[in-house]
Structure 1
Amino acid sequence: MIANMLPAEVLLEIFSYCSLEDVAMSIPYVCSWWRDVSRDTCLWKHFVYRPLRTVTNKEIIDILRLSPQLKAVDFSKHYIRSDIVDVLIECCPKLERLCVPWDAFCNLNKCKISTALVNLKVLIFTGTELKNSALEYLSNQFPTLEHLEFSDLYFTKNELVAFLGKMQHQLHTLSFRCSSSDGHCILPYVAACKKIKTLCLHNLCDNLTVNLPLEKLPNLKSVTSLTLHISSLIAIRNYMRDFMFSPNLVELQLYVCPIFPNDFFSVTARNCPLLRKLTVHGCSTLLQDRSLGSLECFKKLTSLTICNNPYITNEGIKNLGKVSGLTYLDFYECKKLTVQCFTVICGFTNLRVLKFDLKNSNDVVDLSVGHVKNRSLQFMFYKCTSTVLEYFKKQGMVVRLLTDKSETFGMSVVL
């Protein structure tokens, strides 16, 4: 059988395109060689098991029993029971990443989890229910924990202060909510976390005059990725004045804030010369047609994502041509953009990936006007239809359906 003669490198490449379920439950039973290759650690490092609510507990248990190399599990779409955790602990000792609803985690045998899953580095919690003892337990029983996200949960000031005081020497990633009134107490403890590289801060205040004291964070020079969900103009100004001197910052994501100072981009570019990835969600006063050209001050910017912006038009896209290093461009819910802007965008010679909404399936013919200018450009669509799919197949374009949860019902087209 020819398949038995294929080298491991070739099989690993082929298996990487298969689903986790196929790699765990089908491929190992083809032959002993395939079984051995399917257990390679390199193959499993990118797999994340995400059972949906429609999947039965028995199906989950069967998968876990056949996945000893599994490193990441996401139970955010499925209520995890104690019998599933028992199998997970028994059969997946190499687990490094666990996403679970907070209320479910509080009801589990946490001692068993922390004792058995000694490689666990990432914990992501969903939901809003609070049980104080579980947060305290995290800080005492997970010595290997480096990455923690609980941005959907609401903890008291005292809980967060106690937790951060114990975890400050091991956290590399932290995502949490903080009100402006509590920020004066909490943010100094965040600043003491010297190893943090990724920080996501959700500010709960909707009052534009209330100050979130970001000046408490200037010592976090290690941060390379920063996400801010902030609604206070004063907080943004403090961020620019006190915190934005971060020479190592590579990724910046901005959400919600309706008002930005006019010099925001120039100050950010001057103080963060290594910035490569920028995401602006909402923040409609920050990015408009005339301000898109100001992004040229980011000399190393390669990735730009603009979401939910009602002001950017086709005319403004021309200004993006000044940002010569862009390789990735994503427009989502930018309602004034039409496919007629493709002629301009396809002229961006370094651009490799373009993602956007298709509002009218009949408009896709406009793609053919400009795509010949950049044959290496890959299109990714949100909310594609069967009509769109058929059009690109007739044009001889390679179509790949997107399966990532953030791109559900999307597709990719390689010209």
Structure 2
Amino acid sequence: DKAPISIIFRATLERTINPEFINNLYDDVSQKQYTRKLIFSTIFELMNVVVCKIKPSINAAYKENSDNINSSLTAVYDKINGVEIGTSQALVRETSIKMAEVIHSVSGRCEPWIPGYRIKVMDGNCIEATEHRIDELRDTKSGALPGKSLVIYEPELEMATDVFPVEDGHAQERSLLDQVLPTIEKNDVLVMDRNFAVRSFLAGITKQQAYYIVRKHKGLAWSVAGEEKYAGKDEGNKIYEQLCTIEDDNGVSIKVRRIRIELKESIRNGEKELVIFTNLSRSAAPAKLIAEIYRKRWSIETAFQELEAHLHSEINTLGYPKAALFGFCTALIAYNAMAVVKGVLRRVYGEKNIRDNFSVFYMAIHLQMERTGIDMMVEESEWNIFKNMSINNFSVFLVELTEKVNLSHYQKSKQTKRKNRSKAKKEDPYAGHPHVSTARLLRGITP
């Protein structure tokens, strides 16, 4: 009762990514790496407490649990450095399915952007440069990039449901699109930036009976198929719509809609208009809705910011690409578990209330502070009850526990408008003095 959100978070992890599940998944997907004495669930738990900021490093996490780990610290690092990217991807993909099931069961989804369609926002994430701890990096001053990935984010769940990692930090994100295409299902809608406006990829999406909303890339050829017409305004920006065609790799013309947005204010690079292509019908999504959805594409940027701010998603001491990507994927799993918490909160307190007032920042702080105390009070074996609990019983448990949450502990700080201050420069009465005494200034005497 004292820490309901921390209990929900831990129970979700225990149900969706318990040691038995992790080890079985590892055995199924790992191609080269295999288990000796050091089981994979041990490695995951060490990484998990680091990305959740419960422990500052793998070294610190290992020391805390060394009595229960029948391997040396060197063996632990060797295992982490060798985790295959297919394993990291499978962890995110499979656990997101189980966590989404929980959100569905408690009716905790957000309002759909387009009813009847599954929105997937796709964007790339480049892991920050690491420290030069590896021998091969010590002779260069250049930033060492350990990898990047494409992430699929579903706003209805507020979860990252898929990831496509690559070890080469200089790899083109477009090179991963061939991996994305087989995962697209009927009635999916991919919302993407212009980097992904590739003719063959867009044609492939259409062939899957799926849809896209993508900003125009200057290299994407298109032909006019109708007159441009005014379609209304969105937040003061004028919107125009036009039928056009885009050819696939075989020269077959595919009809699409071209949405042009005249911006009231120019964006970062000075551009005054946005052009968006979509193969959604006008009846499914009018032009104003397309413009609104593309604007909300920034929800995935918010997710990346929360990953960086509230979780240790990019551990710059992990120089080996496989290790860095494993850390990033572990952070995605923790982020998704937090999304389950928000899903149950939406069910109990309402979507608008949680969106406007609930702070993920304060939730992350509570999770970090309360974890150690919970581990001391609750025996590890007591969490096993959640592994085999029916989804209905688990949902009832979560809702009942959520009703005990004191939302005032997680209230967002209200931002106030800044006062307009005069930009006129004032003379510094103490110019030439390297220091002043704050206490003297407060008392109104010469500092």
User: Shorter-chain-normalised TM-score: which range?
Assistant: under 0.3
Structure with the larger helix share: 2
TM-score normalised to the size of structure 2? 0.26
* Higher RCO (CA 8 Å, separation ≥ 6 residues): 2
TM-score normalised to the size of structure 1? 0.27
Q: Larger Rg: 1 or 2?
A: 2
